[in-house]
Structure 1
Amino acid sequence: MGILVVMSVMTGRAVEISATQAERQREADLLYVGNVYRQAIRHYVEMPGANGQYPSRLEDLLMDPRFLQPVRHLRQIYPDPETGQRDWAVVGAPGGGIMGVHSISTRKPHKLADFSEADANFNEKQTLAEWVFTYQAGTTKKP
């Protein structure tokens, strides 16, 4: 009987550790994908002849409607690693358009410090939704 109790406690702990590892991996994936979006928005805004215009919708990053020749800033609309869906919340640019994205997840992140320079403002954020990946034209920090 005692062995069964010990085995069940150990199994429960292993499941908990595995779930934590999966959450940490999704956070790492969120950082990667969020920065892919940030880079795509930067590329869109900084295209020669673009006049600093932001995309009207995320799909504009797939096929830039401003040019006759196809210009792709993003290969696909990537899903949010935390939700598994393409349900990003978008951040509006001051003059219109989209300047960034963030997850809708309200889960508390495991990672609270030691972010890259581009993501330094994520330090001590309380939810993954607060990890906002934006590009603002004229800033010197680039991912």
Structure 2
Amino acid sequence: MLLAVFLLSLGVGKAVDVYSTSAQRAREDELVHVGSLYREAIKDYYLSAPNGQHRYPLQLEDLLKDSRHLVTRRYLRRLYQDPMTAKMFTPLLSPQGGIWGVASTSSRAPIRAMTPAGVILKQPPAQHYSDWQFVYDGT
């Protein structure tokens, strides 16, 4: 009986570990997707400047409603939360002024061995999700 309880607890422990890894992998995929949405929204905001005066948004809310044009443009439907922390992303400031990207605040280690496409590393190799930066650099 004791052996059966021991084997059952090992099985449950392994199942919990597999579920935890699967859930983290799903949140990691969501982080890449949402980060890419922010990067594309910042790119669209930057490139759609009237009179060719390119500039980055001063705050993330500018991506929701851009009133620089005759017709209001919306680059995001809403401000998305960081899937890893369930908090708002950290805005990354451009040297020219404004926000040119976002980053996670999570200190967890990524599962992926390779850096996802479109992600700039703060310092390679990425030790934490906070090292992943979703930036549009104006090029």
Give the aligned partner of residue 80 of structure 2: 78
Query: Taking structure 1 as reference, are residues 46 and 127 closer, same or farther at Cα in structure 2, changes over 3 Å only?
Result: same
Report the number of matched residues.
Answer: 136
RMSD: 1.6
Give the aligned partner of residue 100 of structure 2: 99
How far off its partner does 1:48 sit? 4.5
State percent identity of aligned pairs: 36
Structure 2 length-normalised TM: 0.91
Contact 2:101 2:136 in 1 (8 A): yes
Contact 2:120 2:133 in 1 (8 A): no
Name the CA distance, whole Å, in 1 between partners of 2:120 and 2:44. Answer: 21
Query: What 5-or-longer segments of structure 2 have no aligned partner?
Result: none
Name the CA distance, whole Å, in 1 between partners of 2:49 and 2:59. Answer: 20
Could you report, residue by residue, the CA deviation over 1:42-95 in whole angstroms, capped at 9, with x for unpaired residues? 00000041511100110000001322321001111011111122x211110111
Name the CA distance, whole Å, in 2 between partners of 1:48 and 1:126. Answer: 36
Name the CA distance, whole Å, in 1 between partners of 2:100 and 2:53. Answer: 15
Query: What 5-or-longer segments of structure 1 have no aligned partner?
Result: none
* Secondary structure of residue in 2 paired with 1:129: helix
* Secondary structure of residue in 1 paired with 2:119: helix
Structure 1 length-normalised TM: 0.88
Name the stretch that deviates more: 60-69 or 22-31.
60-69
Name the CA distance, whole Å, in 1 between partners of 2:120 and 2:97. Answer: 25
Superposed structure 1 runs of 4+ greater than 4 Å apart: 120-123
Q: Does 1:12 align with 2:45?
A: no
Give the aligned partner of residue 26 of structure 2: 25
* Secondary structure of residue in 1 paired with 2:10: helix
Give the aligned partner of residue 119 of structure 2: 119
